[in-house]
Structure 1
Amino acid sequence: MRLMNLPIMLALAVLLAACGFHLRGEATMPFASLYIEAANPASPLIEELRQNLLANHIELTKSAGKADVVLNITSDIPEKQILTMGSNGRVSEFQLRYRVSIRAYDQEQREWLPTDELMLSRDYKYDDAQILAKEAEETLLYQSMRSDMVQQIVRRLSHAKPRALPEK
């Protein structure tokens, strides 16, 4: 039986290699240490970001003065908005949004990432008859958006460069 699966597995491996698929791997950062300055340092986004940066071998410092770069996360806002309503006046669809404002700079106040707002959104259908299931779905969607947001921040940091200070 295993011998019969070998050609199929080999064919799948060749197809994956031919399409250019490869694992994402670690992000290489243009700095060695980072301080995360956040309005809410205990938020799940900050914790997930810390774990991701540590996995990428970035030293997280306890003070801004010891870091090569300071990442300032000024806001981390999940939002929920009614998208559509049925003819009976009940909500039939919601849109979840996740907004994060970031900025990165170094000790000389050179910007590495200018102030920017990142936003993700997901739509989902709502049903009053399945309240618990829909609450669980909403939680999973927020977790997914948070993970996507962390990946976006890490990608932006990996491509960040110091910008020259304006001349006086």
Structure 2
Amino acid sequence: MIKRNLLVMGLAVLLSACGFQLRGTGTTELAIKELDLSARNAYGETVTQLRQVLQSSGVKVYAGAPYKLVLTREQESQRSLSYAGAGRSAEYEMTTVLNYDIQGQNNLTLLSDKLQVQKVYIHDGNNLVGSDQESLEVRKEMRRDLVQNMMLRLQLLTPTQLDQLQQTADARAKAEAEALEAAQKAEAETPQQSPMQLPNQ
């Protein structure tokens, strides 16, 4: 029994080393096979990296795909966790927040959400060049984390969920259109009062 378990474990290790992974065991397999991707900063590093990861995961990324991922806003901030005098080390916390929408048919928004990553780094007052380099490296790591977290979010979306979200968005859009039409009709049927004319003095 132990030998058989060891054999199974050994085969699993060998297969994973070859790049083979079972479906649903930590793969980056997405239910969305076609995706349009855009961002406010169309040539930014986040959207560029995300496009590469999506394509390497077997997703066809092109304009006009059934679903569209829009990176609406990416905001970076930094705050001091500990203050130190000149020439001494200080801790800084860096935060990146990425807001995004997923759109379906007729450009209707199916969901809006955001991702946030944080990291702490030490700024060495005696080594400004090294500290600046460290800051850039931390930003790169955070961007990789953002892309990875986005992939995890996309993995959670099933075709059934997307269909339900589309139906909800369609119903909302229809209700809004009907409400607008009713308001316009009511306004058209309301008699327009002519401006009151004052008698000539």
TM-score range normalised by the length of the shorter chain? 0.7 to 0.9
Partner of 1:56: 57
Map residues 124-135 of structure 1 onto 2, 5 A cutoff: 124-135=121-132
CA shift digits 1:55-93 (9 cap, x unpaired): 0111111x2xx2021001111122222222136797711
Partner of 1:145: 142
In the comparison of the two structures, how many residue pairs are matched? 148
CA distance in 2, matches of 1:31, 1:127: 45
The 3-state SS of whatever aligns with 1:85 is coil
Normalising by the residue count of structure 2, what TM-score does the alignment of the two structures yield? Answer: 0.64
Higher helix share: 2
Q: Which segments of 5 or more consecutive residues in structure 2 lack a partner in the other structure?
A: 1-5, 14-19, 176-201
Higher strand share: 1
Residue 94 of structure 1: how far off its partner (Å): 1.0
CA distance in 2, matches of 1:111, 1:153: 17
Q: Percent identity?
A: 20
CA distance in 2, matches of 1:125, 1:87: 14
Residue 54 of structure 1: how far off its partner (Å): 0.5
CA distance in 2, matches of 1:88, 1:131: 11
Map residues 1-168 of structure 1 onto 2, 5 A cutoff: 26-61=27-62, 63=63, 66-86=64-84, 92-109=90-107, 111-112=109-110, 114-160=111-157, 161-162=161-162, 163=165, 164-165=167-168, 166=171, 168=175
Q: Give the partner amino acid of 2:146.
A: M
Q: Relative contact order (C-alpha < 8 Å, sep 6+): which is higher?
A: 1
Q: Give the partner amino acid of 2:38.
A: E
Q: Which protein shows a greater Rg?
A: 2
State which drifts further: 36-45 or 90-99.
90-99
Q: Which segments of 5 or more consecutive residues in structure 1 lack a partner in the other structure?
A: 1-9
Normalising by the residue count of structure 1, what TM-score does the alignment of the two structures yield? Answer: 0.76
CA distance in 2, matches of 1:130, 1:88: 11
- Cα distance change of structure 1 residues 90 and 133 upon mapping to structure 2, 3 Å threshold: closer
CA distance in 2, matches of 1:138, 1:88: 18
CA distance in 1, matches of 2:84, 2:125: 12
The answer to whether the 8 Å contact 2:38/2:47 transfers is no
State which drifts further: 42-51 or 125-134.
125-134
- When the two chains are superposed, the root-mean-square deviation of aligned CA atoms in Å is 2.7
The answer to whether the 8 Å contact 2:72/2:100 transfers is yes
Q: Give the partner amino acid of 1:156.
A: R
